Amino acid sequence: MASATWTLRETLIVAALGAVFGVLYLGWVQVWLVAQAVFGPVTMDVVMGFWFIVSIIAAAIVRKPGVALVSEVLAAATQILLGSPAGLLLLLTGFVQGLGCEVVFAATRWRRWSLPVLMAAGAGAAVFSFAYTWVRFDYGALAPGLLALMFALRLASGALLGGLLGWSIVNALHRTGVLAGLRIDHDRRAARA
């Protein structure tokens, strides 16, 4: 299992990513609202995966227990501080989404960071968030066919907008050299040796 102790640099990276993605998440709400006006209610499930991405990026970089969960909660807290109308409920939302990712990383004992694992983490966040929104928005009243479509779209969004896009961003950051000295860099150097 990976070490659970975070360095100061890792803590600052997780905090910075949480803050940056909190701002991006607020902007993404506007994308969702415009798309929903055009395409209807399932649009939330199509775009939902982007709201999981910070947990995937932060965890793939730092590679330690709790990073996915904490980074998503920090993104939610940033949105609250910036005046999101969702208010404190965002902390629960961030917790649920981060937990969905964290469970997948925990299943690998925080040792596997391949594209399939990151996509599975995005799908994990989708499953957890779907259960949460089921309760919050009374999805039990919806038609079974619509529910199946919504769930499939959210799974795909989590895997693609969360996992695949997160993996692409992590790789782009690694190529710049800004992640030198971090666990991701050590792991990738060891794999090449």
Q: What are 9-67's pLDDT values in tens digits?
A: 999 999 999 999 999 999 999 999 999 998 888 999 999 999 999 999 999 999 999 99
| pTM: predicted TM-score of the whole model, two decimal places | 0.95
Distance between CA 38 and CA 35 in Å, rounded? 5
pLDDT digits (tens, 9 = 90+) for 138-168: 999 999 999 999 999 999 999 999 999 999 9
- CATH class label, 8-192: mainly alpha
DSSP annotation of 5 reads P
Say if CB 77 and CB 21 are below 8 A apart: no
pLDDT digits (tens, 9 = 90+) for 88-98: 999 999 999 99
Segments making up each domain of the chain, as ranges: 8-192
Alpha carbon distances (Å) from 12 to 16, 19, 66, 69, 193: 6, 10, 14, 15, 29
In 3-state terms, the chain is what percent helix, strand and coil (to 5)? 80, 0, 20
